[in-house]
Structure 1
Amino acid sequence: PFLSDVESLRKGFIKTTKGHQEFTVLLVGETGTGKTAFLSFLSNVLSGNGLGHYVDKENKGNEAGGGQRQSQTNAALLYEFPSQNNVLIRILDTPGFADTRGLTQDELHTQSIAETIRDSITNVHAILILTNGTVARFGATTDYVLATLMSMFPRTLVNNIGILFTNVASSLKVNFEYDSIPKVIPRDSLNLFYVDNPLALLKHYQDRRREKRPRKEMQKMRKDVEDAEEAALDMLVDFFDWLDSVKPQPTNDIVSLYYQTQEIETKIENILSRRKTISQEQRRLVDIRTKISRAKNVYCHSNCHIECGLDFTNDSRKLIGCSAMNGQTCKECGHSYLSHSHFSVLWQEEVYGTETFTDEETKRQFDNATTNADRKRVMRETVERKLAGIQEDISNATEGVSALVEGYASLSLSGSFTSHIHTTIKLLNVNLETLRHNASPPTTIEQMEQSIAALHDKLAVLEAAA
């Protein structure tokens, strides 16, 4: 049995179980699926406005403008719509994902959603995902959007997710293949709804009427609008009854997931930055180790020329041109140029990993060495300690990411931090092919290639942490 009915909804009345007087819904989806238009329709229904009295209730102050593929909503905004019998419907209208402004804009949208939930919503009854019902399968863009959404929401909300197919009045008109729905949403608890927004159709009808179309054509259009309204109200009966039946869930896990994601992203970026620096240091130390192994005589540890203008070199002959040299002999230490190297290394304290050692200690060991072989051993051991410390530093940082990722996976609907990255790469590859096909400027193509490469670098860090 249904609690609500179409005639009650026409008057703006929602029938609920006793005590259920407030419901909160998160409205999410891809750009261009009609979230804002659906919100306006819902507002009219709850205000008791009949078909002939519908008004446009879109919030112009929160619109971004732009084209059809750009989100028409600037930021997440919480609306409160009281029904005519004082049932409060709270709707968080969210910006559409995957618009033409790129991934950075989606990150801002995610932040806006998380912060609005944190500040204004303690419990949520439903997450309503809007998608275009006329599209046969989810493409790369929709896959990306759904992966983004699944990464934002915790497992506790799995039974509170509904999918609203727009631009279709019933399941008979849906072209969509249901096996495209993310597997994380149980098939035995799919909550599917369909709407061909009568408010959008009414606008088209009014435009045609101003064009003074033939009367018979206008009568048919009017009938189509009325049928769409009837079907949409019938859908709302199902939707409000479902809303009344679900158990509201606290939103603290949504906020927690967002901050976990930010912490993981920050640590990954730090690791990538550190790896770049460390890679250069490793190459330098390996070069030093090789030079030590090849050296016939090692005994000078003077910083002869700290501000040397020569480029880095392993060729001692090139050091004859250094201003510290007087011919083939160093003016600072008195040794031959053959005893010198251009390492860009000072005798000073350095810290790697958990071990701290000073070059003063290395110098003491070096000075106490009685043979050239011992001196080479001291220098080689110093380099090896530094190389081992670098590796320990990387390992410790990677282990920190691993623990965070495991915690995230146990909480998130996506079940994996990498799944969102994979779908993002898939989307960017599609966009890259489009850019190439359209003969876009080389700089634009290069930027897209760099974005894809950066995501592959992130995956490499996560795979190492697994």
Structure 2
Amino acid sequence: MAEVEHSKPDRTLEKSILKTWKGKSTKILNQCSNKLDMYTFPAEKISVSHYQKVTKENLKNIIMMGETGSGKSTLINAFINYAAGIEMEDPLRFKLVNHENESLTREISGYLIEDTFLEYPIMIWDTPEFGDGDEKIKQQIDDLFNIDEFHAICFVINPSVDRLTDTQKIIIDSIQQLFKRKAEMNTYVLARFGDEDCPKDISQSMKSKFPFDENCFFAFNNADLFKSKSERSSAAKQYWDITINSIIRFHNTLAHQLPFRITTETRKAIVKLFRITPDRNIIEKPKRTIFDEFVNKSTKIVKECIRGLDIYAFPAKKTSISEYKQSSSKNLRKIIIMGETGTGKSTLLNAFVNYAAGVEMDDPLRFKLVIDEVDSAGDQSISQTTDISGYLIEDTLLGYDIQIWDTPGFGNTQGIERDEMIKEQINELLKIEDECHAVCFVVKDNVNRLTDIQKYIIDRVLLFFGKEAKENIYLLATFGDGNRPEMLSALEKSNFPFDENRWFAFNNKDLFKNPSQRTECTKMYWEYTIDSIGKFFRDVDHQHAFSLTTTKAVIGDREKLKMNINAITSELDEALEIKKNSKENLMKLKAVKSKVENMEQFKKKVTAHTKVPVPTKNITTFCRKCTHTCHENCSIPNNSDKAGCWAMTDGYCRICPKGCKWDWHSNEPIIYKDEIVESEEFVKDDDKQLFDDATKELSICDKERVELERETAKAQENINKLLRQIKDQIQSLKNTAIQNYSLDMYKYFTTISEAEAKRGNQQKAIQYEKIAKQEQIQLQSESLTAESMMELAPSKIL
């Protein structure tokens, strides 16, 4: 951002403008002195809620922000006095912001300032101090950022020459992040110094503290702005010149500044500053006092000591999930550490406690929070942390207590059973905790692309949390080299919701190295890591904790979803078994039918006489015993009189084949006539028996077919019912969970299933295949139906 050359208007013009503004202004009687009058500057004051776009040509929109006590209001007043043409020796001053106490800015106010010698009108937006996070202020901030365009975001800070406060460090870190977002063209740092704080060479002093382009940095000293000549310090002229020159430089740059719109990312970074809690008024112990206290209450780990470096067990209160009790500390930050096996999680935690205890590089000792209980012979694929452990760390240099939860690494050589156990432990942890300040995901810095297992681990970790955790996810990169971690580019292409404000890189390579083996890079790595740890803990300090209520609900919903997924896979297994049985039944049915049809060739044609009933209206005499019509046109209708029928002699029938007694006969409305019928019969009795058996088997198979069709319909109904529940649960999780299932998890389990199968580990292959099937069901739940699932071959479903 090159500074534009611009000369200051002549004094004649200044006096003309000053006279005009004095005539429009009102004297503030209670703030006047014998030799210096105070006037209210007649700017139009506008609230955010009543703001309408001001159609002034070449208008510059400026946002002024700062922490409590930064001198923001006084600096705005200095800008106004410059715009009105005030010189140091003039007997009056203007006030735009009239606060006796500069921390009284409780709402966002806009001031339209025009007709000054700046040659352009300006709209100054004066905001509340950082840390004023009530709901009214948050709404005003949102309304403010809906304004179309801004020309300058100004951060007012009041730095001390000796040291920066924690809040100032946070502000500087955030401004640097804005620069990374390419907002640097419109972002300015305005540093207001006190009487004794202003160094002779401001630019040189600031370079070591504020790593910004000098064209974005402006220094001011307004100590004598509202003092009469008799009250001014001996350096008043120097301070006045410093301030006026900075104001001139600022406005010269602003005159040619192009407007910009505040992006969502920039908005988040700025809003976060308003949530910063002001620096706590605590009594700080000297760093070496805290260091000595930790040494005195620690125990030396003799077996881990090396020449020139003693190792001590850091005296944290260690706990397990089952034994955990909420701390009574009112100043506690809760941190969860997760990551892949081999990323250096445990070493990073050890670096954290050494920082917190005030250990310096040349000290002859180090602390260890995480102590290797099992010798893994240096195998990085085996996690040194076997169960989740909690560490309560108190009374350190941090100025607040921390509860760190160290979780075992995902993806080690112990397989999916181990990952499932870790998942269940994390679920239990999130159920017993009520809130969390930071969810930290540890990765290796020197990885430029994600492997299948890393994608799986990212998805696995994110599945735990509700959406409210998104703003509290941190990326901690180990093995850093000072540059932007290569892993960030890979994560940008994944579903990992990290924020540019919340990644920190470290290099703990020489943390526990023998002093005699240190290299010239040791100091560089040490300072690099200490700086990153400091930034991380300052950010966590000012981070708002997120409630785990939604996360608990997400865990509960996932458990229900898992039950339904297990149920549907069981139902699907049964349905596929039914489908298999149906296929077998169909093949058997065809075979039996073929067998029956083939046996027809062993039959021969035969003729036989048979009686065929023919209806009649005549009176007949019919023998029920012989099934024979003995008299077709009988004249005796009553059965009790049939002894007198023409066909009877001495009480017996002479016509029927068996000569039956007369009372076996009756009158029936049918006549049985003899006919010759052709049929087929087996030549051999054995063939007939085989045919009868086959026919019976065919009947059984057909009954099985009907039953299998009924079972198939029932299985499909059950699967469709479960699918509807799964779809509803997944939709619910989309609304509450930070992450849903992805194709990466399905690919991961499919790949390792195939790999295990090639190695001959069929049992493991089937296990991973089953998990892959469950992942696929969740991925494709919207399009799957029971019918479509059963139509696929088992291998395709898996």
> How is 1:292-371 mapped onto 2 (pairs within 5 angstroms)?
336-341=692-697
1:3 pairs with 2:180: no
Counterpart of 2:574, as a letter, is T
- Paired with 1:422 and 1:71, the residues of 2 have a C-alpha distance of 24
Taking the TM superposition and a 5 Å limit, the aligned residue runs for 1:76-155 are 76-84=388-396, 87-119=400-432, 121-155=433-467
Distance apart, 1:338 and its partner CA: 3.5
Return the structure number with greater strand share.
Answer: 2
Q: Does 1:278 align with 2:575?
A: yes
Q: Percent of counterpart pairs with the same letter?
A: 17
Aligned partner of residue 441 in structure 2, secondary structure: strand
2:510 counterpart SS class? helix
Q: Residues 75 and 253 (structure 1 numbering): CA distance in 2 closer, same or farther, change over 3 Å?
A: farther
CA distance in 1, matches of 2:285, 2:531: 11
Flag the 1:9–1:90 CA change in 2: closer, same or farther, 3 A.
farther
Q: Shift in Å at residue 396 of structure 1?
A: 1.2
Q: Which structure carries more relative contact order (alpha carbon 8 Å, separation 6+)?
A: 1
CA displacement at 1:403 relative to structure 2 = 1.9
The answer to whether the Cα contact below 8 Å between 2:750 and 2:772 also exists between their aligned partners in 1 is: no
CA shift in 2, pair 1:186/1:257, >3 Å: closer
TM-score (norm: length of structure 2): 0.42
Where 1:340 maps in the other structure, the secondary structure is: helix
1:226 aligns to what? 523
Shift of 1:289: 7.8
Among 766, 769, 786, the alignment partner of 1:450 is 766
- The separation in 1 between residues aligned to 2:501 and 2:698, in whole angstroms, is 68
Q: Deviations over 1:235-254 (max 9, x none)?
A: 12211221123221122333
Q: 1:288 to 1:165 in 2, by over 3 A?
A: closer
Question: Following the alignment from structure 2 to structure 1, what is the Cα–Cα distance between the partners of residues 750 and 573?
Answer: 26
Alignment of 1:222-261 (within 5 A): 223-261=520-558
Greater radius of gyration (CA): 2
Question: By how many angstroms is 1:128 displaced?
Answer: 1.1
Distance 1:112 1:283, change over 3 A: closer
Question: Does 2:512 match 1:203?
Answer: yes
Equivalent-residue separation in structure 1 for 2:776 and 2:700 (angstroms): 31
Amino acid at match of 1:93: D
- Where does the alignment leave 5 or more consecutive residues of structure 1 unmatched? 14-18, 210-217, 295-311, 321-325, 346-375
Superposed, which structure 2 residues align to 1:377-416 within 5 Å? 384-414=709-739, 416=740
Q: Distance in 2 between matches of 1:8 and 1:424?
A: 51
Give the Å deviation of 1:144.
Answer: 1.7
- Counterpart Cα distance in 2 of 1:180 and 1:140: 13
- 3-state SS of the aligned residue for 1:240? helix
2:444 touches 2:477 (CA, 8 Å); kept in 1? yes
- 1:31 correspondence with 2:341: yes
Cα deviation, residue 279, structure 1: 2.6
Counterpart AA for 1:397: L
Q: Secondary structure at the match of 1:204?
A: coil
Q: Distance in 2 between matches of 1:424 and 1:146?
A: 12
Q: Determine the C-alpha separation between the residues in 2 that align with 1:452 and 1:133.
A: 30
Match of 2:387 in 1: 75
DSSP-derived class of the 2:572 partner: helix
The CA RMSD over aligned residues, in Å, is: 4.0
Deviation of 1:315 after TM superposition, in Å, equals: 7.3
Of 52, 56, 61, 2:368 maps to 56
Distance of 2:468 and 2:534 partners within structure 1: 25
Residues 205/168 of structure 1: CA separation in 2 closer, same or farther (3 Å cut): farther
- Letter paired with 2:547: P
Query: Once the two structures are superposed, what CA deviation does each residue of 1:382-432 show, in whole Å capped at 9, x if it has no partner?
Result: 765444333212211222222222222322222x32445235237637x82
Distance 1:343 1:60, change over 3 A: farther
TM-score (norm 1): 0.68
2:181 paired residue number: none
Unaligned 5+ segments in structure 2 are 1-163, 170-208, 210-283, 292-328, 600-684, 783-798
Q: Which structure carries more helix by proportion?
A: 1
Contact kept, 8 Å, 1:77 with 1:94, in 2: the verdict is: yes
Shift of 1:69: 0.8
What SS class does the counterpart of residue 341 from structure 1 fall into? helix
Are the structure 2 counterparts of residues 313 and 194 from structure 1 closer, same or farther at C-alpha, using a change threshold of 3 Å? farther
Aligned length in residues:
378
Mapped to 1, the partners of 2:593 and 2:345 lie a distance apart of 64
Q: Distance in 1 between matches of 2:578 and 2:475?
A: 52
**2:385 and 2:548 mapped to 1: Cα distance?**
22
Equivalent residue for 1:417? 741
Q: Please tell me the residue identity of whatever aligns with 1:3.
A: D
Cα shift readout 1:41-97 (whole Å, capped 9, x = no counterpart): 212222333331313332345888872111111011111111336621111101111
Alpha-carbon distance in 1 for matches of 2:586, 2:763: 38
